[in-house]
Chain A
Amino acid sequence: MIPVTVIGGYLGSGKTTLVNHLLRNANGVRLAVLVNEFGELAIDEDLIEAQADDVISIAGGCVCCSFGNDLTAALGNMAMMDPPPDHVLIESSGVAIPSSIVNSLVFMPAFRADGIVVLVDAETVQRSASDKYMGDTVTRQIADADIILLNKVDLAKAGALEATRAWLHIQNYAVRVVESIHGVVPPEIVLESFLVRARAGGKHIEPSHLDVMTIMPTGPVDARVLARALSDLSVGLVRAKGFVTQLDGTKALIQVVGRRFDVTDAKAEKADGIVCLGFKGLMSRETLEALV
């Protein structure tokens, strides 16, 4: 199944910049980006290899398609690509409710949800959230998020940032909030597909406030119990992915995106080990190892 990440957030929160950043740092991961519309500046020009009506080919085997008002059809086309993309990224419209996009993946057996990443403008989000018309749309987007990218932190006034973070956790208690400037974040935060590759030696941007650790279970575990524990806010994880041996001897794949976790059967030959991406100072090896 192809993982799908939904990038949400109100107009001007920096979704397009983030998408370009990810494409620029795709590093061999073949991304398919679905955008609601091709704006004038949807994709940085130097990334574009060729452009047909509603498909842009991008250096490194990535593509970008506009889906207009028919996301289902666009995803159907993605599934038929040969070879299929490694990861699909949906840049939702500024007024879209991200969970409704994720819900609709149920009908697309070729895909599975890899979480909702919502961008918010650190400087303006609280004002947008009290806007007469758009306020509830903005708070619904925030409530849907597994991960919030608190963007444009360079523009926020001193002290305001902490207040905004506190406010975000009131809107969505368990959400993981990652700060960024111009949407520059390690790709593995947004996309699980990067997580494992980053560990395999591919270069990636090392963020100052994030850390990556790999934990090795010492024996069989209850995968669901472990996954649930990893998704707890106090553990400090943004994402985790890896394989474990279950109590009955079978292999399981654990995927955690913020508060969301998923456990599926895996092939027997997979080696145990879970890659964890979390906040420096909050995620500790001792805590993680105590869980396994």
Chain B
Amino acid sequence: MTLTGIPSMTATTIFSAKKIITMNPSQPEVSHVAVREGRILGAGDLASLEAWGEYTLDDRFEDKILLPGFVEGHAHTMEGTLWRYVYCGFFDRMDPQGKSWGGLKSIDSVLDRLKDAEAKMVDPEEPLSGWALDPIYMGNRRVTRQDLDSVSSMRPIGVLHASGHILNVNSKALELAGLFKEGINHPGMPLGDDGIPTGELYGPETMTPVGVHVGFNRSLTDSDEKGLRDFGKLCVRTGVTTVTDLAARLEDSGVEAMLRVTGESTFPARVVPLKFFMGATAKETVDRALELKGKATDMCRLGRIKAIADGSIQGFSARMRWPGYHNGAPNGLWYTAPEQLEDLYRIALNANVQVHTHTNGDEATEMVLDTLGSVLKDVPHPDHRFTLQHCQLADAAQFRRMKALDMCVNLFANHHFYWGDEHYRLTVGPERALRMNACRTAIDTGVPMAIHSDAPVTPLGPLFTAWAAVNRITASGRTQGEREKIKVAEALKAITIGAAYTLHMDDEVGSIEVGKKADFAVLEDDPTQMSVEAIKDARVWGTVQGGRVFPAASL
């Protein structure tokens, strides 16, 4: 990565731009921003900034639009690692090197891309791995081991679905796992007419034992050093300067690696990793978060916790209130019991540690509201900003309760585009599909709101996320939930100061005003001057992070 930053951090640089959108209501648009020591010395016109003394005028952004660096409030840095595998997705997607991989529209084209990759491999036993497959968009034809055998029957092959919950493997992979046989009786492993598994594996308990043979081992969820650096590149390409890693195991070696990489002078994004509440008690988890808080740096903001209440709606593992799933599927699964969450909330509030909680179904949201509501009576904690993550099915009454409890919400706007049609047709039905990810209701109710990608589940890209919340268009092109659309200005707020607020970082990032970090998204196009249907296509030139300039073109 090329660093074309400022010679001396103590000197003052004044950047001029075509327009600077500040998110500071006192002066929403300015022409210049002065930077010193990686922070914003001031924003305004040149004359108003000259009083700060000697400066260098940097006009490289003369024809660019500056916004506060985008804050992605729900992503996973493992996206950087996944790009080592063959991209098999339906939608076009950009890799960390800036190459745009065309979306694959049929199973045959997926197999062709795998064959191309296979032809370049030297070691005949090395596994071939792909990711982001989504047969929902390909006529919903099942992919089988025979399909993947046509790529190679010699080497193990595995392709992970976009949801992350399904893995397709070939015969060789089944053979290596000892599962190329008849008589397997497991709901997560369908059998073909010949009695042998079809090679579709549903759920972690079937994916893990085979996954190790096709290059997906369990460390997948933790990005390694190269993965994190690659993820940093994606941040620059999408205008992101602060990004969460929402649910990391954060064991010592992983934390050291993360501190090392984020501490590199060329690493371009502030990372906010949340310790995953799983496999340890509430007390241990809070103690660990406090210990990690002590290790936090400016670029690696350790010390928060993520809990998971339920599963996913499209996986039918989310917890739904009556009348449940539209297709009659049984209710989903709790991942954490209310008593455990209550413990966690109580101990975390007392220790001043913030908790974000994943809920998808409306029953899970209700449970968290009940649980936190009761804990807050015992442990009042002004300004806790505990945040509901995804919270896709919340209704208006639940948003009113969030407001009453001073909670924040981070809605999964991208999901609406990628799976909205499925929700309408299959999982929750038309009425509830209209209210999913209810950004309008959140804003009108006064619940502090962010919107997110959940990368790698959907691609990192706050401008796309903003577009999704503004237009509510599904993959098939329908507008779903007209009433829940928000304005472009509101969406831009959600991906900057809005997301910063949910992380207790709105005093540092999320707007361009004096004293804050010199974090900017640098755009070629002005999203406020484009048609609302086009804002996802506003081109990103790169970022400025902590006063350091990162042009995407020289990554």
Say which residue of A38, A72, A134 sits within 8 Å of B205 (CB atoms).
A72
CB neighbours of A71 from chain B (8 A): 205
CB neighbours of B177 from chain A (8 A): 107
Bound together, the chains give a CA A11 to CA B340 distance in angstroms of: 9
Q: Is the interface of A mostly helix, strand, loop or mixed?
A: loop
Residue of B nearest to A70 (CB): B218
CB neighbours of A273 from chain B (8 A): none
Bound together, the chains give a CA A133 to CA B309 distance in angstroms of: 11
How many whole Å from A34's CB to the nearest CB in chain B? Answer: 11
- CB atoms of B283 and A68 under 8 A apart: no
- CB atoms of B333 and A108 under 8 A apart: no
Residue interface mask A38-77, B partner, CB < 8 A = 1: 1110000000000000000000000000111111110000
Of residues 1 to 46 in A, which have CB atoms within 8 Å of B's CB atoms? 10-12, 36-40
Q: CB of B479 within 8 A of chain A?
A: no
CB neighbours of B340 from chain A (8 A): 11, 94
Bound together, the chains give a CA A95 to CA B186 distance in angstroms of: 21
Say which residue of A40, A69, A94, A133 sits within 8 Å of B278 (CB atoms).
A69
Bound together, the chains give a CA A136 to CA B366 distance in angstroms of: 16
CB neighbours of B215 from chain A (8 A): none
- CB atoms of B279 and A95 under 8 A apart: no
Q: CB of B363 within 8 A of chain A?
A: yes
How many whole Å from A59's CB to the nearest CB in chain B? Answer: 24
- CB atoms of B186 and A134 under 8 A apart: no
From A97-105, A114-122, A147-155, A197-205, the one touching the partner chain is: A97-105
How many whole Å from B179's CB to the nearest CB in chain A? Answer: 7
Say which residue of B184, B279, B284, B334 sits within 8 Å of A133 (CB atoms).
B334
Say which residue of A12, A107, A133 sits within 8 Å of B338 (CB atoms).
A133
Are A68 and B279 CB-contacts (below 8 A) given A97-B333, A133-B338? Answer: yes
How many whole Å from A263's CB to the nearest CB in chain B? Answer: 15
Residue of B nearest to A103 (CB): B186
Bound together, the chains give a CA A14 to CA B500 distance in angstroms of: 43
Say which residue of A38, A66, A70, A101 sits within 8 Å of B208 (CB atoms).
A70
- CB atoms of A104 and B206 under 8 A apart: yes
Say which residue of A40, A97, A108 sits within 8 Å of B281 (CB atoms).
A40
CB neighbours of A40 from chain B (8 A): 281, 283
CB neighbours of A101 from chain B (8 A): 205
* B interface, size bucket: 35 or more
Q: CB of A109 within 8 A of chain B?
A: yes
CB neighbours of B373 from chain A (8 A): none
- CB atoms of A108 and B209 under 8 A apart: yes
Of residues 262 to 301 in B, which have CB atoms within 8 Å of A's CB atoms? 278-281, 283-284
Q: CB of B109 within 8 A of chain A?
A: no
Q: CB of B7 within 8 A of chain A?
A: no
CB neighbours of A107 from chain B (8 A): 177, 179, 186, 189, 205-206, 209-210
- CB atoms of A95 and B335 under 8 A apart: yes
- CB atoms of B205 and A73 under 8 A apart: no
Residue interface mask A82-114, B partner, CB < 8 A = 1: 000000000001110100110110111100000
Are A39 and B281 CB-contacts (below 8 A) given A70-B218, A71-B205? Answer: yes
Bound together, the chains give a CA A130 to CA B218 distance in angstroms of: 37
CB neighbours of A70 from chain B (8 A): 208, 218
CB neighbours of B206 from chain A (8 A): 104, 107
Bound together, the chains give a CA A111 to CA B465 distance in angstroms of: 46
CB neighbours of A106 from chain B (8 A): 184-186, 189
Q: CB of B187 within 8 A of chain A?
A: yes
Q: CB of A126 within 8 A of chain B?
A: no
CB neighbours of B363 from chain A (8 A): 133
Q: CB of A137 within 8 A of chain B?
A: yes
Q: CB of B188 within 8 A of chain A?
A: yes
Residue interface mask B327-347, A partner, CB < 8 A = 1: 000010111111110000000
Are A37 and B205 CB-contacts (below 8 A) given A103-B188, A134-B338, A136-B331? Answer: no
CB neighbours of A103 from chain B (8 A): 185-188, 205
CB neighbours of B319 from chain A (8 A): 133
Bound together, the chains give a CA A36 to CA B278 distance in angstroms of: 9
CB neighbours of A67 from chain B (8 A): 279
How many whole Å from A81's CB to the nearest CB in chain B? Answer: 18
Bound together, the chains give a CA A133 to CA B334 distance in angstroms of: 9
Which one of A11, A12, A68, A72 has the greatest number of beta carbons of chain B within 10 Å? A72
Residue of A nearest to B321 (CB): A132
- CB atoms of B279 and A36 under 8 A apart: yes
Are A37 and B279 CB-contacts (below 8 A) given A11-B337, A103-B187, A133-B334? Answer: yes
Which one of A66, A73, A94, A104 has the greatest number of beta carbons of chain B within 10 Å? A104
Bound together, the chains give a CA A233 to CA B385 distance in angstroms of: 54
Q: CB of B367 within 8 A of chain A?
A: yes
Say which residue of A73, A93, A104, A136 sits within 8 Å of B218 (CB atoms).
A73
CB neighbours of B185 from chain A (8 A): 103, 106
CB neighbours of A94 from chain B (8 A): 337, 339-340
- CB atoms of B218 and A100 under 8 A apart: no
CB neighbours of A93 from chain B (8 A): 337
Of residues 199 to 237 in A, which have CB atoms within 8 Å of B's CB atoms? none
Residue interface mask B174-208, A partner, CB < 8 A = 1: 00011100001111110000000000000011101
- CB atoms of A104 and B278 under 8 A apart: no
Which one of B278, B279, B331 has the greatest number of beta carbons of chain A within 10 Å? B279
> Can you list 12 A-B pairs with a CB-CB distance of less than 8 A?
A36-B279, A38-B280, A40-B281, A69-B204, A70-B208, A71-B205, A73-B208, A73-B218, A94-B339, A95-B334, A104-B188, A106-B184
Where the two chains meet, the residues of A that have a C-beta atom closer than 8 Å to any C-beta of B are 10-12, 36-40, 66-73, 93-95, 97, 100-101, 103-104, 106-109, 133-134, 136-137
> 10 closest pairs, A vs B, by CB?
A68-B279, A104-B205, A72-B208, A95-B334, A107-B209, A106-B186, A95-B337, A133-B367, A39-B281, A69-B278
With A11-B339, A69-B279, A95-B337 given, can you name 11 additional A-B contacts, CB distance below 8 Å?
A: A11-B340, A37-B281, A38-B280, A71-B205, A94-B340, A103-B185, A106-B185, A107-B210, A133-B319, A134-B338, A137-B333
